[in-house]
Amino acid sequence: MISNPILHDIIKSELNHNSNAIYNLCKEIPAIKNSNLFKKDYWQLKETRQEEPNQRYYKADCVWYFDGKKNDNYYIVNEVKTGKYELSEVYKKYRTGMSGQIWVWGWKQINDTKVLGETYQRKIKLIDIEYLKPILIKDLTTILEGLIG
C-alpha cells in the first residue's frame, strides 16, 4: 500500500483521461457492478472533468457527467484516497443530492475498515484502487518506455 501525492495525481489523471476504460472496468467491480449506470442503457457517459469545483468550493478529483434519455443528468464524484480518510469528511465536502454519487477510490486495506451505515449507504461507494492496477501499469510502462527510449 502506497500513500503518495504523486500516485494520487496519477490515479486522478487516469480517472479523467481513461474514463471510458475505467467505466467499462467498473462493470465488473462487485461494489458497483449492479448499479443502474451499468445495468441499463439509460445513462451515457458524456464528459469528465478533473479538479471540478462544487458549490462549497471544494475541488473533486474527477467528476463523471452522464446524460439520461429524458434530458436528465447524473454525476459521479470520484475521490482518490491513497492514505487514511474519514467518510464523514468526504461526504460533507461532496454530498451530491439525488442526482449523483461519490465514489471513493482507496486501498482495500483501508476501505475494508470503513462502515458505510445508513447515512452513506446509497450515496458513497468504496472502490479498491487495486482494480486500477492493470491500467496504471500499462500507462506508466508506456510513459517510462517513451522517457527511456
pLDDT in tens, 29-59: 998 988 888 877 888 999 999 987 777 668 9
Cell 464528459: give the residue: 47
**pLDDT tens, residue by residue, 57-107:** 689 999 999 999 888 899 999 999 999 999 989 998 988 777 899 999 999
Cβ atoms 75, 52 nearer than 8 A? no
Q: How far, in Å, CA of 26 to CA of 113, rounded?
A: 21
Angle between helices 19-26 and 133-148 (to 10 degrees): 150
Q: Name the one residue in this structure whose C-alpha cell is 458524456.
A: 46
DSSP letter string over 85-110? --HHHHHHHH--GGGEEEEEEE-HHH
Give the three cell numbers for residue 74: 447524473
Total domain count, the chain: 1
pTM over 0.75: yes
CB 108 within 8 A of CB 133: no
- The pLDDT assigned to 74 comes to 92
**Residue range(s) defining the domain that contains residue 95:** 5-148
Rg over alpha carbons for the chain, rounded to the nearest Å, is 15
100-106 and 124-128: which strand pairing? parallel
Q: Report the alpha-carbon distance of residue 125 to residue 78 in Å, rounded.
A: 10
Question: Which pLDDT does position 1 carry in this prediction?
Answer: 63
d(CA 149, CA 132): 25
